[in-house]
Amino acid sequence: MKVAAGQFAVTSDSVKNVGICIDYMRQAQAAGVDLLVLPEALLARDDNDPDMSVNSAQALEGTFVSALCQASLGSEMTTFLTIHVPTTAGRAANTQVALRNGEIVAVYQKIHLYDAFSMQESRLVDAGATVGPLVEVAGMKVGMMTCYDLRFPEMAISLALAGAEVLVLPTAWVRGSLKEHHWSTLLAARALDSTCYVVAAGECGNKNIGQSRVIDPLGVTIAAAAESPALIVTDVTAERLTEARNKLPVLKHRRFAPPTLL
């Protein structure tokens, strides 16, 4: 399976942002990509207005996702991304969607909200109540995670125990002391915990690090971007996954009950 991660700086103009997403989708389709991951919270962002992502929230039937669905028509490539979807007055859910051939094929509402490092995502965002469904892409099963979910190993392990072979991770990973080290360490750790591939796409604006990566089931980085807009493309294989799980059968060797997620 060919996978890709696209990173860019989200702007305050949702029309511009959807155009960038569509351009990445077209580039990925032309490259024969089966699975594309885009960053987190793509509707709108402003460095001087931390509430813009929530205040610009749209229903999944709104113009933003509808335009992406239209762009995906006629293609079996599956695209993963997140937008904020209104819940109650002034609040929203950070919602990951998987799009394929004109349709939304899966939805996951972010469970772990980023109330850390002096930020408080839960101030305006409602947490999800369940993990997302597995999505089959080119014969492999894909589990959905979003940004701060990366810090919780039980989530990656639970998805792997449910059958996931690839984990996707749209993010807007905030810059800060040691944060880039945390990013690289946690991506490798979650791949090793779950013996899954991890495909992570990062927003690369002034406040976020970018650094999209694809990690293999033994924790090896097989594709990476720096801090600038980029589309990275690489191959993942069921053979490598089987080889990794035979060498490192951590899912079979567990001595604790499988973690329970909500």
Q: Which of 21, 110, 203, 204 is catalytic?
A: 110
Per the listing, tokens 């051939």 go with: 101
Is 110 known to be catalytic? yes
User: What does the block give as tokens for 153?
Assistant: 């190993």
Q: How far is CA 25 from CA 30, 48, 72, 127, in A?
A: 9, 29, 8, 28
Is 165 known to be catalytic? no
Among 236, 163, 154, 232, CA closest to 190: 154
Residue 19, beta-bridge partner list: none
Count other C-beta atoms under 10 Å from residue 111's C-beta: 20
| DSSP secondary structure, 33-93, as one string | -SEEE--S--S--BTTBTTHHHHT---TTSHHHHHHHHHHTT---EEEEEEEEE-STT-EE
Count other C-beta atoms under 10 Å from residue 217's C-beta: 24
Is 147 known to be catalytic? yes
3-state class (DSSP) for residue 154: helix
User: What does the block give as tokens for 165?
Assistant: 């072979």
Q: Which of 21, 69, 121, 147 is catalytic?
A: 147
Q: Which of 21, 40, 69, 121 is catalytic?
A: 40
The alpha-carbon radius of gyration of the chain (Å, integer) is: 17
Among 66, 9, 14, CA closest to 38: 9
What is the distance between the alpha carbons of residues 189 and 116, in angstroms, rounded to a whole number? 20
The residues carrying an active-site annotation are 40, 110, 147
